[in-house]
Structure formats: C-alpha cells, structure tokens
Amino acid sequence: EPEVTQTPSHQVTQMGQEVILRCVPISNHLYFYWYRQILGQKVEFLVSFYNNEISEKSEIFDDQFSVERPDGSNFTLKIRSTKLEDSAMYFCAVDRVAGGRETQYFGPGTRLLVL
C-alpha cells in the first residue's frame, strides 16, 4: 500500500513556464520532502518541509522553487520559470506515519520534460 502518490505522472512544458507538481499523502504525515533525479544522475535532495515551513533545503533549491501545503493535505513543488536543466524525475517522500524521521517513503515520481 503506497504511502504517497504523485500527480501528474508526466508533464511536458515549455521553457519559462510555471509548473506545479503535487504530492498526495495517503495517511497523516508530518514531514515532506522533494528530491529530483536528472537522467543518468543521482537522486538529489531538494527540500524538506515540516509544520508548514521549510526545515532544510539544498543549494539546488533556489528562488525558482517553492513548496507549500495549500489545503493542509497535498504538498506541492512549484517551479516558477522552468529551464531546460529542470528536466528530471521529481520524487516526493514522506516520513513514517508515526511521525518519526527515521525513514522516508518515496512516491512514484513525476517526470518533467522542459522543451
């Protein structure tokens, strides 16, 4: 049983356009994370989110990126003005249902292609 789903599964966009990727947790979770994987490269951490605030972010997570929980349930990653190099698989992850941070469950990913 998946802990988290992601929508859309695939998205194609033009350079300069805004995209919003969504993460839908199945159960109540406290911590949310975004990772990305550029084709052929490592999965890299982008940001973590707890209690409606960013708790940690990497150097990749610049001003073009933002995260929020607009309805208290879904968790979104917004890229304001996409660049070609934003093309990647984006994974959402959530913490254990019990609220511990001991591990993270990863969603199926959204494949973003920027043309």
Partner 1 sequence: KQEVTQIPAALSVPEGENLVLNCSFTDSAIYNLQWFRQDPGKGLTSLLLIQSSQREQTSGRLNASLDKSSGRSTLYIAASQPGDSATYLCAVGPTGNQFYFGTGTSLTVIP
- Catalog residues that contact partner 1 under the rule CB under 8 A: 31, 33, 35, 41-45, 48, 55-56, 58, 89, 91, 93, 101-109, 111
Q: For partner 1, give the closer residue by CB, 41 or 52.
A: 41
What DSSP string describes 60-90? Answer: T--TTEEEE-TTSS-EEEEESS--GGG-EEE
Q: How far is the CB of 37 from partner 1 (least distance, A)?
A: 8
Q: How far is the CB of 3 from partner 1 (least distance, A)?
A: 10
Query: Do residues 81 and 62 make contact, with C-beta atoms less than 8 angstroms apart?
Result: no
Q: How far is the CB of 13 from partner 1 (least distance, A)?
A: 18
- From CA 99, how far away is CA 80, in angstroms rounded? 31
